[in-house]
């Protein structure tokens, strides 16, 4: 086994055949191309800038403040400037965590909290039956010192009534054309976050 990928698919439009809520875990005998690309990018960043790519992404997002949606003691939810899908959001740890097995009890609780908020935001924006994917990216087996645990949420919605499908340029060239501007999309996510905060138990704070 080289890499463990937990994930959740929800919604028939992304291919879910079982209607009840469920998640899956793939234990792979190889490192998936996406994870390998992240490892290579983190190594190049270390070589060129002598820093950690994931930690610097989060630090820059916190300093700029524009695309941060929600945070608690251990994790931050934000819309990175480099996302592929209009309302794609990521969860990054505040400290150096490479994989799920490094979470302590408080970290696990905080991770559950930020995931709950992310899902509630999607449901507020697109309805309780909205489709999304939640994928855990964690370090493969071995020494990958610059890799960091993070969770990525993808939803195909452009609005409650419109779906963005991956088509020729996306599948054929792996080039995603972003609909809109991240700074505008995140305003909608933040508005939804403030709405759900009124009725959702939470352990962190929403960002304006």
For residue 14, give the DSSP letter. Answer: G
Catalytic option among 20, 22, 150, 202: 22
Q: Can you give the pLDDT at residue 22?
A: 77
Angle at the Cα of 67 from the Cα atoms of 123 and 106, rounded to 5 degrees: 70
Comparing CA positions, the residue from 89, 152, 94 lying closest to residue 121 is: 89
Rounded distance between C-alpha atoms, residue 178 and residue 82, angstroms: 9
Question: Whole-model pTM?
Answer: 0.95
Q: Can you give the pLDDT at residue 11?
A: 86
Query: What separation in angstroms does the CA of 176 have from each of 4, 41, 100?
Result: 26, 19, 29
Within 80-104, residue ranges assigned H as helices are: none
Contact 202, 107 (CB under 8 A): no
Tens digits of residue pLDDT in 123-166: 999 999 899 999 999 999 999 999 999 999 999 999 989 998 88
Active site residue 202: no
Q: Which domain holds residue 80?
A: 3-206
CATH of the domain at 194: 3.30.428.10
Q: Can you give the pLDDT at residue 21?
A: 67
Per the structure, how many domains does the chain have?
1
Q: Can you give the pLDDT at residue 190?
A: 97
Tokens of 74: 């251990």
Residue segments in the chain with a per-residue pLDDT below the cut of 50: none
Comparing CA positions, the residue from 130, 129, 148 lying closest to residue 140 is: 148
């Amino acid at each position: 086994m080289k890499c463990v990928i937990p994930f959740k698919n929800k919604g028939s439009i992304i291919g879910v055949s079982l209607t009840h809520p469920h998640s899956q875990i793939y234990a792979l005998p190889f490192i998936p191309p996406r994870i390998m690309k992240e490892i290579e990018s983190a190594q190049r960043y270390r070589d060129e800038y002598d820093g950690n790519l994931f930690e610097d992404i989060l630090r820059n997002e916190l300093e700029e403040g524009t695309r941060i949606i929600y945070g608690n003691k251990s994790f931050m939810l934000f819309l990175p400037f480099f996302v592929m899908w209009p309302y794609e959001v990521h969860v990054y740890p505040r400290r150096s965590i490479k994989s799920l097995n490094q979470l302590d009890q408080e970290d696990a609780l905080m991770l559950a909290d930020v995931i709950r908020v992310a899902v509630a935001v999607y449901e507020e924006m697109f309805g309780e039956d909205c489709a999304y994917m939640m994928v855990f990216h964690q370090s493969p087996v071995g020494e990958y010192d610059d890799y960091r645990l993070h969770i990525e949420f993808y939803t195909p919605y452009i609005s409650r009534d419109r779906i963005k499908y991956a088509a020729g340029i996306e599948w054929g060239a792996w080039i995603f054309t972003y609909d809109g501007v991240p700074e505008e999309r995140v305003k909608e996510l933040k508005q939804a976050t403030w709405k759900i905060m009124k009725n959702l138990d939470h352990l962190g704070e929403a960002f304006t």
